[in-house]
Amino acid sequence: MLAFLAAFGPVDESTAILRLVAVVCWVVAAFFSAPARLRSGGIGLIALGLALWFFPDMWNTVDAAF
C-alpha cells in the first residue's frame, strides 16, 4: 500500500487518502459498471473519483491565491 501511495508523491496524508479513495471509485466503476449504471446513471462513481482526485490541488490553489 505504501508503494502505491509513493507512486503519486502526495504532499500530505489527507491528499494520499483522497487520491486512494478516488482510485477505489474508479476501480468499482470499472468492474461494477452495469449495476452502477442502473442506480446512478452510469457516471456517478467516475465523476466522484475525478472530484476526489482534483480536490487537494484545487484546495491548495485557492489557499495560495487568497
What is d(CA 66, CA 47) in angstroms, rounded to the nearest whole number?
27
Q: What is the DSSP string of the chain?
A: -HHHHHHH--SSHHHHHHHHHHHHHHHHHHHSHHHHHHHH-S-HHHHHHHHHHHHHHHHHHHHHH-
What is d(CA 47, CA 2) in angstroms, rounded to the nearest whole number?
25
pTM of the model: 0.65
pLDDT at 9: 60
pLDDT in tens, the chain (66 residues): 555 555 556 667 888 888 888 888 888 877 776 665 666 555 677 788 888 888 888 888 888 887
pLDDT at 52: 86
